[in-house]
Amino acid sequence: MRDAETYAAPTPKILYIHDDLSDYVSRGHGQASPAWHLSRELFALVCRDPRRVVLLTLEPQMAPLVAHGKYAPFALAIGIGRAGERVAQQLHARTGWFPKISRVDITREEDGHGGYNVVTTTGISLAQQLPPLDTASALAVVDDTVFSGLTMRTVLLALPAQVRARTQAFCLRGVAASLAGIAALCPVAIGFAAPGRLLDEVSFLNASGLVMRVGIRHPEQPPQAFFERPRWMHAWFPGYADEVIALCQRLNAILEPDGRPAQFP
């Protein structure tokens, strides 16, 4: 059985799509560009049924995090990947919580059997990427999304127990049911938590993953965009997936013109 066939994607009651694409397209191509207009078409299309597909933007997620509590500046913040580092930078710009940010370059990768592994994207192990922590009086671990919680738990469990005891986790969005596993390890603050069972009741994806080869990773294979998994697209957008795929292909041809994954910030 091919790897792609082992990963089911049921049609969720609510699919949340985080718009991390608009700013990327605006900065890289401008708001008069074909890429910008195609992205507007794409968002209008995927949200054809707004009761089932919900577009998330940054501010409604960031504001509750900022209002969550008053924290003294953390001695160190660990951003999980570029996305977590970016969230930490955005939070720090508003709050001053994270004067020192260190990034760990890890991601979730399909294992070919229906599950996932957390792997390094640099060839350097997670343990080697972690900065010295013994003297950190307070540590923050920051990510953009807690979906299954696998990546966040992996980082937290890599910390010495005495360090984890003075750690606070932050994320912009996630599935409420997955937060219990994080909260069992350390306190967690989240901007938006969606109720419901993972996948069949609620699911999350980033708009960038729909159109760019940053959404799906496998061992020893090039990354894929979600539009390259038609079964997933038909589950997420039943009745109009072919239209969504066609728009994604047109936008991908502009954003990744040589067919190779772009460096998404």
Q: Which residue ranges form the domains of the chain, and what is each CATH number?
A: 3-57+197-255 (no CATH), 59-194 (3.40.50.2020)
Can you tell me the distance from the alpha carbon of 162 to that of 52, in angstroms, rounded to the nearest whole number?
A: 43
DSSP tag of 50: T
Tens digit of pLDDT for each residue in 120-179? 999 999 999 999 998 889 999 999 999 999 999 999 999 999 999 999 999 999 999 999
Tens digit of pLDDT for each residue in 202-259? 999 999 999 999 989 988 788 999 999 999 999 999 999 999 999 999 999 999 999 8
pLDDT of amino acid 5:
58
Q: Is the pTM above the cut of 0.75?
A: yes
Query: SS3 of 105, please?
Result: coil
pLDDT of amino acid 214:
92
Which is more confidently placed, 1 or 233? 233
Can you tell me the distance from the alpha carbon of 80 to that of 254, in angstroms, rounded to the nearest whole number?
A: 28
Q: What is the largest CA-CA distance in the chain?
A: 55
pLDDT of amino acid 68:
86
pLDDT of amino acid 162:
95
Can you tell me the distance from the alpha carbon of 87 to that of 171, in angstroms, rounded to the nearest whole number?
A: 8
pLDDT band at 3 (very low <50, low <70, confident <90, very high): very low
Can you tell me the distance from the alpha carbon of 97 to that of 21, in angstroms, rounded to the nearest whole number?
A: 26
Can you tell me the distance from the alpha carbon of 234 to that of 241, in angstroms, rounded to the nearest whole number?
A: 5
Tens digit of pLDDT for each residue in 23-58? 999 999 999 999 999 999 999 999 999 999 999 999
CB atoms within 10 A of CB 161: 8
pLDDT of amino acid 261:
78
Identify the CA nearest to 143 among candidates 58, 84, 82, 77.
84
Which two structure tokens, joined as six digits, stand for 37? 């207009």
Q: Is the pLDDT of residue 89 over 60?
A: yes
pLDDT of amino acid 4:
53
pLDDT band at 2 (very low <50, low <70, confident <90, very high): very low
